[in-house]
Amino acid sequence: MNNHIRLHNGSYAGAVDPHGAGLRSLTHNSADLIEPSSGVEGSAFAGALLAPWPNRIGDATYDFDGTQHRLPANESRRGHAIHGLAYALDWDVLETSVDRVRLGVQVPPQPGWPFRLALAVQYQVGDDGLTALLEATNTGDTRLPYGCGTHPYLVCGDGTFDDAELTLPAATRLETDERMLLTGAAPVEQINADFRTPSRIGDRFLDHCFTDIAAGEHGVSSAVLQRPGGRGVAISWGSWAPWVQVHTPVRD
């Protein structure tokens, strides 16, 4: 982790990797809030920044403005293109201080992506946690498709994951087939996936996208993972992100 940029402010500390601009660690009073990782490769994209698309492009092929594009299939076992291009690029450090870092990168035209995109991300730790802001600018002459996301694995203390409670104000869950491609949507109360009030995860396995998310004050939505006894972690986002993916680990 020698090349990681370390940030700290009071009881919070984090580390950011210029390769991919991912969040590699986040702690509060030295306790992990996300699963730490040394890098994306071999880490199931832990902490990765996902752009210019999150999740899967089926069969690594998409149509945009009347043209079909084929991307390299980096999810080889399913034949899909997953989680964008930014995680594999070396980002420039634009600004840095004890509690803040700003990085930038140009996503160049490449097979399946004949566009020009500039990305900049800022991470800042404060007395209430970490804030991340991602900016995207089309620097080419044509329209381009764009999506983004983050990929932290939340941690909230010791013990089995099954005992944790999840709160997520989402009314709908998207359904997928065996290749993890979208097939439809269902109300959460009909499929044992209602976390609008705190609900113990138990033996439920989730690797699904949720939507129809209720917003709180200032249009901000939050998901909370909490253990019995009160220790927990929360992640919040604005109305520009109408979907949230929830993934639980595979348990024996």
Structural domain range at position 20: 5-151
The pLDDT of residue 161 is above 70: yes
Per-residue pLDDT, 212: 98
The pLDDT of residue 252 is above 60: no
Number of domains in the chain: 2
Average pLDDT, the chain: 94
Domain with residue 143: its CATH number is 2.70.98.10
* Residue 116 resides in a domain: yes
Could you tell me if 122 and 31 are in contact, meaning their C-beta atoms sit under 8 angstroms apart?
no
pLDDT over 70, % of the chain: 97
* Residue 252 resides in a domain: no
Residues 211 and 229 in one domain: yes
Residues 77 and 138 in one domain: yes
The pLDDT of residue 123 is above 90: yes
Residues 167 and 142 in one domain: no
* Across 100-114, average pLDDT: 98
Among 128, 151, 174, which residue terminates a domain?
A: 151
* Across 81-94, average pLDDT: 98
Give pLDDT tens digits for 177-192: 999 999 999 999 999 9
